[in-house]
Structure 1
Amino acid sequence: MYIWNLKGLVQALKEGSLSSKSQRLHKAIGISLFAFALLAYPLSFMTEPSNTLDIVDMFSYLVINLVGIYKAYTINQRGEGKEFWFRYFSLYVPLTIRFIVLVSVIMIVGYTVLPFISLDETNWFDVIITVGTEIYFNILMVKSIKIINE
């Protein structure tokens, strides 16, 4: 199981050298993480008061990820055109872990350096971090799928 080693996973997917057990594990964990990420946003709106920036944040999250999935799909189709969802969910595991670490570090540093920002509600700093990290996540996904198809 490739948890952090994105290059190793990309190479294994390119060569088709993942065992069937590892394939099932990657797919199951990837789908679970994807479902959790997809459900987390709407649930957070139900539990906390929201402001205009929350709507901007959710809209940008949806648009960036839909565009990212579409780009990854079209690149996969230009190559072999096979196993897109398996590749996507397999890559989703190490990319999500990297994403969580990156967002955590940026938020800790950001809220330490910028103490005047309120933690009570969504602010521009949160939106910029969300947009930037989602774009980075999707660039890595597209780049990885492109490498697999070479």
Structure 2
Amino acid sequence: MYIWNLKGLVQALKEGSLSNKSKRLYKVIGIFLLALELLTYPVLLVTQPFNILDIIVMIIYLVINLVGIYMAYTINQRGDGKGFLFRYISLYVPLTLRFFVFVLVVSIVEYTIILFIDPSLSLDETNWFDLIISIGTDIYFNILMVKYIKIINR
């Protein structure tokens, strides 16, 4: 199983050389991560203070990800058109782990900057910095997904 080695995973997906055990692991872990992402967001909205920026973040998140999935699907169909869901879920595992580390680092930098600019922005409510970071990271994730789907279909 390829966790950090995206090039190795892409090559294995391209060649169809993943073992059945690896395929099952990618499916289970990918579906678990996807479910975790989709199910925790509504819980956070209920338990955290809610403002208009939260609604904007949620709408933008849905739009960016739906467009990203559609683009990846279209690219896959233009290629060999095989196994989009498995390819997506398989790539989702290492990309989500990288994405998590990336967002963690960006968030630490963001809140360090916010403390120097305006400490009142670091309250529990979503602010403009959060909105910008959310948009940027969602776009980055989907660009990577589309990029690797393109590579698999060459």
TM-score range, shorter chain: over 0.9
Note the 1:15-54 alignment, pairs <5 A: 15-54=15-54
Give the aligned partner of residue 71 of structure 1: 71
1:62 is displaced (CA, Å) by 0.5
Give yes or no for contact 2:48–2:124 (8 Å, CA) kept in 1. no
How far residue 122 of structure 1 moved from its aligned partner, in angstroms, is: 0.3
Q: Does 1:118 align with 2:118?
A: no
What SS class does the counterpart of residue 122 from structure 2 fall into?
Answer: coil
Compute the displacement of 1:27 (Å).
Answer: 1.1
2:135 pairs, out of 128, 131, 135, with 131
Name the aligned partner's letter for residue 88 of structure 1: Y
Q: Describe the superposition over 1:48-107 as per-residue Cα deviations: whole angstroms up to 9, x where unpaired.
A: 220000000111111100000000001001111110000000000000011100110011
Residues in 1 aligned to 2:129 and 2:99: alpha-carbon distance in whole angstroms = 17
Q: Which residue of 2 is the match for residue 81 of structure 1?
A: 81
Distance 2:43 2:132 in 1: 21
Q: Which amino acid aligns with 1:140?
A: L
Tell whether the 8 Å contact from 2:30 to 2:92 is kept in structure 1 after alignment: yes
Instruction: Supply the distance in 2 between the matched residues of 1:4 and 1:46 (Cα, whole angstroms).
Output: 34
SS state of the match for residue 4, structure 2?
A: coil
Query: TM-score with structure 1 length normalisation?
Result: 0.97
Unaligned runs of 5+ in 1: none
Distance in 2 (alpha carbons) for counterparts of 1:114 and 1:47: 23
TM-score scaled by length of structure 2: 0.94
Partner of 1:103: 103
> 1: CA distance between counterparts of 2:69 and 2:132?
21
Worse-matched range after superposition: 54-63 or 106-115: 106-115
Please give the alpha-carbon distance, in whole angstroms, between the structure 1 residues aligned to 2:11 and 2:79. Answer: 15
SS at 1:122's partner residue?
Answer: coil
The gaps in structure 2 that reach 5 residues or longer are none
Paired position in structure 1 for 2:10: 10
| 1:90 partnered with 2:79 | no
Superposed CA RMSD in Å reads: 0.9
Which residue of the partner structure matches residue 140 of structure 1?
144
Distance 2:146 2:80 in 1: 15
| Percent identical | 71
The range that moved more, 113-122 or 54-63, is: 113-122
